[in-house]
Amino acid sequence: MVDKRQGWLKYPFGKKLKRLHKWNAWVILLLAITGIMLYLPFLRRYVAPFRVNLKLVHIYLGYVSIFLLLLYTPLLTKHMKQIWKRVNHRNNLRFVLFIIIGWSVSGIILAFYRHFPDVWSSTALIFHDLFTFVGIPYTVYHAISRSRWLKKMDREERKTRDQKKNLDGTQPLAPKKRETLMSRRKFIRLSAGGLLVVAVAPFFYGWLGRIAGFSGESLLKQTKRDGNHMVPQPEPAPGSLPPKGGGANGTFRMYTVTDVPAFSSDTWSFTIDGLVDHPLTFNWKEFLNLPQKVQVSDFHCVTGWSVYHVTWQGVPLSYLLKKAGVKNKAKYVKFYSGDSVYTDTLTIKQAHMDDVMVAVLRDGKPIPQDYGGPSRLIVPEMYGYKSVKWLNRMELIDQPWTGFWEKRGYKKNAWYRG
Ligand SMILES: Nc1nc2c(c(=O)[nH]1)N[C@H]1C(S)=C(S)[C@@H](COP(=O)(O)O)O[C@H]1N2
Ligand SMILES: [Mo]
């Protein structure tokens, strides 16, 4: 009988495995490249113009990877049986499957973050990172240790040694002793593994530090490293220290699309201008003398992470708007960052929401320079990209203005649930 099946179905088992292995290698490589580009903090500003599309590509590659996994599933049992006796291969397969399934599950939660509780996506993001920190070095190691040239080197080394021995008239080596002949390959494998661990360790340490909320340096050192020199420091109001929210639960991922700007109370100023009755400029001391409020709120970023019960202290935006006197013509508030690049807007109505403020204290402490200190906008009802860091100017305008991330594809509708 003629086999009428076409393409994939017609392939013999071995060929299917080989094909899947090759495709999987390519997809994982592309996922790694796009994923690392999305992750690395110092690439953020360069990736910004195409970040939204890059993320889409990463997600679609993820679907391809899941599709390959589905094609592989019917072959799994036979494949396992085939390699059962080779412990290394067996463990490799198990580990690779574990990583790919981990990537897939956490990836799907992240891709559909709006449909899951936010705790899911922030947890999924941590696992997605974690699987990457283990999976990528392992894959690279796997590629090196199983590479053709290493196998070839191994074979040639063995051949020459065997030949030598035979010329001497001695017996070929017993299989057990052969192990020692692999020293060169083993050496390369070990050093490759070592180098990989050394290369990834600092990134992992940085990540772990940020996730677990330790950064390998004491709070005192951190404060000293802080490039802002603001005198005096804001006075914590009751409820701010100790934070009435009990202290933030979760960690902020430090995001910036510029170098982190530094400020000093000698030169820092805060301006409200545009369509207002009284344009205002405050120096640091004057700004701190404005009435402040303490508030507890959650903070959500579209990349999947959330921080809960953050206690903020700052000047309510509605107070600033009232003081400057918003003209009837004004429709939007445009926010400027002291990094001179980042901007965003709110409608006048949104800007009057109760919990929108220019924060100066986070959990009772001055906002660190990296996280927008000395003063940042907080819009808890919306995704984090509205919360402009290093905020030092508000302009009242009558024409719409598209903010930094909205210009680059983020949704104009930034409502967290809505
Ligand atoms: N000036 C400035 N403000 C910014 C950003 C930025 O890159 N530059 N990133 C925004 C985004 S997308 C988020 S999620 C939050 C992150 O705040 P964090 O760096 O304190 O975690 O800041 C927002 N404000
Ligand atoms: Mo964000």
Listed residues: CB within 5 A of ion ligand 2 = 301, 384-385
C-alpha angle with apex 223: 217 to 228, nearest 5 degrees? Answer: 135
Say what the pLDDT of residue 42 is. Answer: 93
Q: What is the dotted CATH code of the domain comprising 228-407?
A: 3.90.420.10
Provide the 8-state DSSP code for 366: E
Radius of gyration of the CA atoms of the chain, in A: 29
Q: Which residues pair with 184 in a beta bridge?
A: none
The reply to whether the predicted model has a pTM over 0.95 is no
* CA 256 to ligand 1: nearest atom: 7
Q: Which ligand is nearest to the CA of 408?
A: 1
d(CA 378, CA 367): 12
How much is the pLDDT for 155? 78
Rounded to whole angstroms, the Cα distance separating 189 from 234 reads 55
Q: Which residue, judged by its Cα, is nearest atom 12 of ligand 1?
A: 385
Q: How do the pLDDT tens digits run along the chain, 418 residues long? A: 667 778 898 999 999 999 999 999 999 999 999 999 999 999 999 999 999 999 999 999 999 999 999 999 999 999 999 999 999 899 999 999 999 999 999 999 999 998 999 899 999 999 999 999 999 999 999 988 888 787 787 777 777 776 766 665 555 555 555 555 557 778 888 898 999 999 999 989 888 877 776 655 555 566 667 999 999 999 999 999 999 999 999 989 999 999 999 999 999 999 999 999 999 999 999 999 999 999 999 999 999 999 999 999 999 999 999 999 999 999 999 999 999 999 999 999 999 999 999 999 999 999 999 999 999 999 999 999 999 999 999 999 999 999 999 999 999 999 998 6
| Residue identifier of the C-alpha nearest atom 10 of ligand 1 | 385
Chain-centre distance for alpha carbon 348: 32
Q: Which ligand is nearest to the CA of 386?
A: 1
Contact 249, 213 (CB under 8 A): no
Is residue 4 within a helix (H) or strand (E), and if so which, with residue range? none
Question: From ligand 2's centre to the CA of 413, what distance in Å?
Answer: 14
Q: Where in the chain is the domain with CATH 3.90.420.10?
A: 228-407
Strand partners, 234: none
Query: Helix (H) and strand (E) counts for the chain?
Result: 15, 10
Of the options 1.10.1060, 1.20.950, 1.10.390, 1.10.3470, the CATH number for the domain spanning 4-164+180-212: 1.20.950
61 phi, psi to nearest 5 deg: -60, -35
Neighbours of 35 (CB within 10 A): 23
| Residue 342 Cβ contacting ligand 1 at under 6 Å | yes
- CB pairs under 8 A, 24+ apart, for 170-179? none
What is the residue type of 399?
Q
- Where helices occur in 40-86 by DSSP H, the ranges are 44-47, 51-72, 76-83
Q: Which amino acid is present at 142?
A: H
Which of 25, 23, 27 has the alpha carbon at shortest distance from 8?
23
252 lines ligand 1 (CB under 6 A): yes
- Take atom 16 of ligand 1 and give the residue whose Cα is closest: 255
Task: Locate CATH 1.20.950 in the chain.
Answer: 4-164+180-212
99 lines ligand 1 (CB under 6 A): no
Cβ of 299 below 6 Å from ligand 1: no
Residue 303 CA, ligand 2 centroid: distance in Å: 6
Q: How far apart are CA 400 and CA 413, in angstroms?
A: 13
